Structure 1
């Protein structure tokens, strides 16, 4: 029997570790990142099943490259320009001030001389793009205000790697000898970025158009991989990071019609390789170095994370973030980053850091990465974030009608069309400024206001309204409005959009005048039209739909009296012959059929 290939065995181990650890840690509320880290630590430093962590890390870094490409696809140049203040002002302040503070700590601790301390301090000021963005993705906060600000800081940190690598050359004694070559390298980097922008703007979309016309999906996939890896390799060749090259390629295609296709092609590679990256970080954790320098690491790692987090919090507050957002960013970005590995290794080769100091710093960065998901989870548990909503002045001049509609959701928009077409004036209030502006562009008169406030309802004319139509989207908001109107304005009839079946029963218990589940009538209509497409007549489909509507109403009455699980026998769970539901035995005249429908 042939001996299994070691590479095959290692792949099985990594896949098995990911499959076991990620769901467990996700279930515990700790996130998949910490699960991948734990799996890597168990497979590598503890059980020693995989020893070549560096090779795994080198391959898995492509996950970060693919991640930045996908982020670039979701960012248009106009939006990137809007973020310029966060990127270049807040990002610069974070790197410079954190770098200086951590340089002082590194020098005082005696890790290296002043030149090495500068590299150590600024290397630790860089955070992990992969860890931070994966945590944001896991929690669904990527597009939140603090998520966008965090990304801006991370983007500047990726840009800062270039001058920091140049700084190693200067501090290593090559300032005079290599000044010309440094200027030449900087010029080549700028030229490479300009060439990439030109290719992205004018060539990529036509190329993908030609490939798409071939109809060969595997060629499209190959082209997507070639684009990402080619851009990454080109930027690395001129001294920039691979991730930055992929990010630029993504931005250039952000407005392309092939954006969604490319994202779908790359996403599986991104997810798998990024999981492998986190496991590789766990594999590379040097437990012996940590144990040998336990006191320094136990004191030093939390200290540098606290100093960095405090500076990030203060800078974000000064830049306009609220307390919750500033704290969330501080908890998300206190760790060292993957670019720190590059800086410390390069500094060791230049003689600025001793091998033991470089190993100690790398171990500290790795440990800080492992602690970050825990800190982020604690911040989500203990921070109460209130969404910052834009407000516009409440002006109810001209308000007051027979119908007061609270909430201008899609449901309310359709209902308002019926009322207006029937000659009934409607006063509409909503607390979403964007929705109000959008509705105003179509000629609707909507007032800004919070429908859960009594004074707002009075100003909107509830005391003159015959009917209050509550069309809000959230059950808890709807219930608050219904309770207040029932208590404060009993003269008004309440017509309410219910959230679901349970909500319908609860609203009936509050004795509203009329309630309707949005999904009921639309689902009935959809089902009837499907039956018609399968060959039933419009009359037959309408009879069946009416029977289902009556059954639903009877079941609601039974559930209200006997509990939610009652009335199951009234549900159809297998095909029913239509004959018992269809009364007419004779052909239906055309006139009668038209009336029935």
Structure 2
């Protein structure tokens, strides 16, 4: 390795560690940290790193892994579950926003090709920042959170035809609508072909590799698939990143997708961070100084345009006014794919470099203020929709949950119920919570949890939160009788619904199982097992021995039904479909 290349990598890593640590301390997105780090060390900043082939290759590989990771998360099952918002709402948001921005750009004198690229790139929002904001606020499972995720998925899908379209624009063509239609068809055909090939060959390949029980070989195979697909699409005139995206779609349809995701996550996070640093390095700070007024004006116009479009679409979808405004503000920024698309267009000479620079800075600014926009949106929603209060109108509850599917219903939102909800949210599992205590509901909704007030023995309440579409019910109520009533009601209304219940002790567990619980857990007993496990570990017992001792105690204390679940390794037979 040449000394200057090693120096480039060392400076990049040092800047990443220092700046991102500061941004994390300030509770800001690491993406912004990488962008700022790139600006600081780049040619227009401290000039610690000049433009080089090394940074170019790092940027390309970062984009490849980003597209692979996006494809990996787009399973057909996930798309099917969210099809209403992805295909309908998400597509309308992208196409309408793209049309409005394209028309505006042409009105200000840009050519058709440039205007279309600007419209397509700015129609996309930031997946990384929006999901981070939702996760920090625990709002992934709320109506606004589910809608935002669906729109982001739709936007990710539209990246494919946009990346196919830009190289075609680099050629001399007269019929632009025909080029766009051809790009869409070409992308659609490629996706179908890749998924078919993946289903035929990837499962057998991963099965063989998995049988060898080598994580290194598994990771190497994954990288081979990613780079092989990237090479293949480039060979046929498409971009490297598109091949990686298709590879992600292929792997997502196999049962090995979670292991693949775990193996590539360290590479993805680091290389993607370095990619954003190279984007920051490419930003000319002189452009920001000389065009500050124009950049700020464009940023405000972009936020207003996207916020208004999303808000109107939400209102047409019968969202409440406050929730509509909240969603609009949350999705109003530019996104990381704008960097990819503008970079590709600038490299191919389709868009002027000064235009690209101006828009890159604009997108960065809109991304930076997203957390503030999210806070503003939540305050507006709380004030207009009174969501911080107790929701009791069944019609409103039905409307907020009409799209939720394959979710978990949590009954009881005390300390235990809230912890369960936080765990589900962290695991990206949709859930809805019910509680008959108005104080618990109020506190939960203030903090963004999808919790509703209602008596837990009424079938209308259960139907309002889509229990017929749920995969399981978890009863965490502190009150013994209320927990038993909830289990009895769910079992009588929905005989096949898996029910996991929290019991205080073994007598309570027996009552809950007699009432219809699929599996009840004795809280006091499990706490004693955790304490015992900790002390045995401190005394030097091996983990397998501790597990054996704990398992023996559980088998002795729990009922035959619970013992069967424990020995089979399953806590509840939750359906997969």
| Same fold flag (TM > 0.5) | yes
Q: Distance in 1 between matches of 2:358 and 2:319?
A: 35
Q: Which residue of 1 is the match for residue 450 of structure 2? A: 388
Q: Which residue of 2 is the match for residue 77 of structure 1? A: 76
Shift of 1:168: 8.7
Q: Which residue of 1 is the match for residue 173 of structure 2? A: 174
- In 2, are the aligned partners of 1:232 and 1:242 still within 8 Å (CA)? yes
- In 2, are the aligned partners of 1:285 and 1:367 still within 8 Å (CA)? no
- In 1, are the aligned partners of 2:71 and 2:245 still within 8 Å (CA)? yes
Q: Does 1:521 align with 2:515?
A: no
Q: Which residue of 2 is the match for residue 428 of structure 1? A: 484
Q: Which residue of 2 is the match for residue 40 of structure 1? A: 38
Q: Does 1:56 align with 2:55?
A: yes
SS of match in other structure, 1:203: helix
Q: Does 1:5 align with 2:3?
A: yes
Within 5 Å, give how 1:16-415 maps onto structure 2: 16-44=14-42, 45-52=44-51, 56=55, 59-108=58-107, 110=108, 112-113=110-111, 116-133=114-131, 145-161=143-159, 163-164=161-162, 166=165, 174-175=173-174, 189-235=187-233, 245-254=243-252, 256-322=254-320, 326-341=324-339, 344=342, 354-372=352-370, 375-376=373-374, 384=446, 386-389=448-451, 395=457
Shift of 1:20: 1.8
Q: Which residue of 1 is the match for residue 436 of structure 2? A: none
Shift of 1:301: 1.9
Q: 1:59 to 1:152 in 2, by over 3 A?
A: farther
Q: Distance in 1 between matches of 2:16 and 2:49?
A: 14
Q: Distance in 1 between matches of 2:118 and 2:229?
A: 29
Q: Does 1:441 align with 2:493?
A: no
SS of match in other structure, 1:86: helix
- In 2, are the aligned partners of 1:185 and 1:239 still within 8 Å (CA)? no
Root-mean-square deviation (Å): 4.9
Deviations 1:295-334 (A, max 9, x none): 2112222222222222223223433545565445434432
Shift of 1:28: 2.0
Q: Distance in 1 between matches of 2:229 and 2:285?
A: 36
- In 1, are the aligned partners of 2:86 and 2:151 still within 8 Å (CA)? yes
Q: 1:207 to 1:396 in 2, by over 3 A?
A: closer
Deviations 1:330-378 (A, max 9, x none): 3443233444456556766898755543443344334434444554466
Aligned residues: 449
Q: 1:371 to 1:264 in 2, by over 3 A?
A: same
The more displaced of 367-376 and 205-214 is 367-376
SS of match in other structure, 2:484: strand
- In 1, are the aligned partners of 2:304 and 2:332 still within 8 Å (CA)? yes
Q: Does 1:15 align with 2:9?
A: no
Give the gaps of 5 or more residues in structure 1. Answer: 398-407, 417-424, 447-467, 471-514, 535-540, 546-597
- In 1, are the aligned partners of 2:296 and 2:362 still within 8 Å (CA)? no
- In 2, are the aligned partners of 1:73 and 1:250 still within 8 Å (CA)? yes
Q: 1:30 to 1:200 in 2, by over 3 A?
A: same
Shift of 1:116: 3.9
Q: 1:525 to 1:306 in 2, by over 3 A?
A: same
Within 5 Å, give how 1:510-549 maps onto structure 2: 517=524, 519-523=526-530, 526=533
TM-score (norm 1): 0.61
Q: Which residue of 2 is the match for residue 458 of structure 1? A: none
- In 2, are the aligned partners of 1:53 and 1:280 still within 8 Å (CA)? no
Deviations 1:498-543 (A, max 9, x none): xxxxxxxxxxxxxxxxx98565432355479889989xxxxxx9xx
Q: Distance in 1 between matches of 2:116 and 2:17?
A: 41
Shift of 1:265: 0.9
Q: Distance in 1 between matches of 2:101 and 2:286?
A: 25
Q: 1:60 to 1:21 in 2, by over 3 A?
A: same
The more displaced of 324-333 and 32-41 is 324-333
Give the gaps of 5 or more residues in structure 2. Answer: 382-445, 460-472, 502-506, 510-521, 543-548, 554-577
Q: Distance in 2 between matches of 1:437 and 1:72?
A: 42
TM-score (norm 2): 0.63
Deviations 1:115-154 (A, max 9, x none): 6444433332233445445555666656665444334323
Shift of 1:223: 0.4
